[in-house]
Amino acid sequence: MRIHILTPGFTTPNGRAFLFPLITHRRALADAGIEVRLFGGDSPELTDCDRLLVDRKFHEPLWPTAEREILDGFARWAEKTPTIFVDTSDSAGWLHVKLLPIVHAYAKAQLLHDRTAYLAPHYGYRAFADFYHRSFGVADTEPACSDPVPEPVLLDKLRVSWNSGLADYSEFGPHRMALYGRLPWSALLRFPNPRSAPDAKRPNTVSCRFGANYARASVAAQRVMIREHMADRMSVDKVSRRRYFAELRRSQVVVSPFGWGEITLKDFEVFLTGGLLFKP
């Protein structure tokens, strides 16, 4: 099976996590009869494959001004080969619903358990942002809602893909992955091993460090509330990455609220350092 992937490459954390296992396990995939080839742009060869995967990040900055051209491009590809849109965005909400009638499948790193929720719009493009808007009256400076899926039958095209966890979130992992984007040397990509046992001595009971500066108040609401609740109990300010990882290794419980998405990179940093992950 030949799989072609249209992608801008290692340009964003989620984009790196999408490509990381495909590159790291390329030899194993080849042994299984799966040939993976990456494309940085459209070409006559792009659709000469058994499956075409299109990374959301490839078109991300172009949607506001070139939506019609993007949709026409997907329609052209889908006529030639089974085409799968890989939504590498942070949140379980916010689908590019206009692609659903065109593509053969819509793969997303995280999906709402109740798929029918996509039939309704969500304030702030996210189910949790919608919750804070409706329950606490949190309003964004520039209000916006996600587009609802127009027909229930289109929900059948939704698939769960691997999420941002399949990458290197060790202390220096993000630096190595960013470097790979400039210098594609395979030795830079490797899955990390846990650096601290869960039963190691952990004198710090709770770690609760994270930013809360988001363009959307509805997205930031959970973080703001937690920081306000915890600020008089412990330091909640961000620190250097070295100091941050040292604190993770000493902590029994690490609080990791939602960010732009429900899954955050901190979740995987906690797994590697052995603490108990606490998601609100």
Specify whether the CB–CB gap between 19 and 92 falls below 8 A: no
Specify whether the CB–CB gap between 126 and 93 falls below 8 A: yes
Residue 266 CA to residue 246 CA, distance in Å, equals 14
The pLDDT value given to residue 4: 99
Identity of the residue numbered 238: K
pLDDT tens column, 188-200: 999 998 888 999 9
**Dihedral angle of Cα 38, 189, 17, 25, to the nearest 10 degrees:** 60
The pLDDT value given to residue 213: 94
Q: What percent of the chain has pLDDT above 90?
A: 95
The pLDDT value given to residue 220: 98
The pLDDT value given to residue 280: 83
The pLDDT value given to residue 51: 98
Specify whether the CB–CB gap between 169 and 190 falls below 8 A: no
Residue 6 CA to residue 44 CA, distance in Å, equals 13
Identity of the residue numbered 82: P
Rounded mean pLDDT, 154-179: 95
Rg (CA), the chain: 20
Residue 124, judged by CB atoms within 10 A of its CB (0-12, 13-18, 19+), counts as buried
Rounded mean pLDDT, 122-135: 98
Specify whether the CB–CB gap between 127 and 112 falls below 8 A: yes
Rounded mean pLDDT, 107-133: 97
Specify whether the CB–CB gap between 279 and 267 falls below 8 A: yes
Residue 274 CA to residue 253 CA, distance in Å, equals 9
C-beta atoms surrounding 127 within 10 Å: 20
Specify whether the CB–CB gap between 79 and 119 falls below 8 A: no
Rounded mean pLDDT, 215-239: 95
Mean pLDDT of the chain: 96
Pick among 1.10.10, 3.40.50, 3.30.70, 3.30.2010: CATH of 1-88+162-192: 3.40.50
DSSP 191-253: PPPPSS-TTS---EEEE-------S-HHHHHHHHHHHHHHTTTS--S---HHHHHHHHHHEEE
Question: Does pLDDT of 81 surpass 90?
Answer: yes
Residue 165, judged by CB atoms within 10 A of its CB (0-12, 13-18, 19+), counts as middle
DSSP 137-191: ----SS--BPPPPS-GGGGGGEEE---TTSS--STTHHHHHHHHHHS--GGG--P
In sequence order, the β-bridge partners of residue 52 are 4, 83
The pLDDT value given to residue 186: 87
Rounded mean pLDDT, 180-185: 90
Question: Does pLDDT of 99 surpass 90?
Answer: yes
Q: Which two tokens stand for residue 95?
A: 């689908």
pLDDT tens column, 235-271: 999 999 999 999 999 999 999 999 999 999 999 999 9
Domain map (residue ranges) of the chain: 1-88+162-192, 194-278
Question: Does pLDDT of 128 surpass 90?
Answer: yes
Rounded mean pLDDT, 48-62: 96
Residue 195 CA to residue 173 CA, distance in Å, equals 13
